[in-house]
Amino acid sequence: MTAPNVSVWVAAEEDFDRITDIVAEAFIHDPVFNYFASLRELIPKDQDTREKKNLHKWARFMLRLCVAARGRVTVIVEKQDSAPDRIVGMAQWLPPNKRLALWHVRTMFKAGIVGMIKRWGVEGLLRCGFEWLDGTHNAMVKVFREREMKSKDPDATWYLQLIAVAPECQGKGYMSKLIQEGYNNAPDEIFTLEATTAASRDKYAHLGFEAVSTLTLGNGKSDAQGLSSKGKSATGVEAYLMVKIPH
C-alpha cells in the first residue's frame, strides 16, 4: 500500500467529533487524567464504561475551552487516493494571554464545566482547576523569573493545551508535524507546555522544548499511574513543565 500523504490544517467544527475521539483514545491511560478523574483502576480499552464516557466529555470540554478562548485547533490528515481523507491527530494551541483559569467563569460555563463537575465531582474540579492550573502556573512563573526571560509572564507565550495522535498512527512523526506547524505559525514566540509522562517529555525535548520544572500531583492520594492509593505507593503523579525559546 502506498504511504499516505499528510497535511496539517486548521480544524473546522465538523471535525470536532473526530478530534474528541482521538484525544479520548490517546489519553485513556494518561496518569494526570486518571488523577483528575479520581480513578481507582485503569479504564478498559475494550469496554464502554462510564469512566470512558467521562473521558470523552473531558476531551470535548477541553476543546470547547480552546475555542472559547479563541485558540487554534489544528488537525493532521492522511490522504489516500483509494480512501476518504482521515483525521489522525490534533493539536490545541492557546495564544499569548489567553490561558484559562477557573475564575474565567463565563468561559468555563460556556465550555460545559457544570457537566464536568457532575461527572468528576468537586474533588475533580479542585484537582484540575486548582492543583493543576494554579500549580503549573505558579511553577512556571518562578522559572521565568529565575531565568530572567524576556517576558516574565508565562501566560504571554503560545501554550500547547493538548496534542494527540490516533494510537494506530503513532510513531509516524505526526506529532512533530503538528508541533512544527505551530512553530511556523508564530516563529518568533516562546512556547510552553506540560508533559504528563516521561515518554512525552522526551519526545518534546527532541522538538526543541526544555524541561524546566517538575510538578507532583496527588502526593499521598495517588500512585504513579494517577490511580487512587494510600501508603508507600501513593507517591503522586509527575508532570513536566517545558519551554521552547526561539533561536
Give the residue extent of every domain in the chain: 5-244
Closest CA to 212 of 146, 126, 133, 124: 146
d(CA 132, CA 126): 8
Indicate the pTM of the whole model: 0.93
- Note whether 209 and 129 are within 8 A (CB): no
Rounded average pLDDT per 10-residue block, the chain, 247 residues? 84 96 97 95 93 92 90 94 89 92 71 78 87 92 86 90 96 96 96 97 98 97 97 97 92
Residue 2: its pLDDT value, please?
A: 67
Residue 37: its pLDDT value, please?
A: 93
Burial string for 19-38 (b: 16+ CB within 10 Å, else e) reads bbbbbbbbbbebbbbbbbbb
Residue 200: its pLDDT value, please?
A: 97
Residue 1: its pLDDT value, please?
A: 56
d(CA 244, CA 101): 22
Annotation: CATH topology of 5-244? Aminopeptidase (3.40.630)
Residue 218: its pLDDT value, please?
A: 95
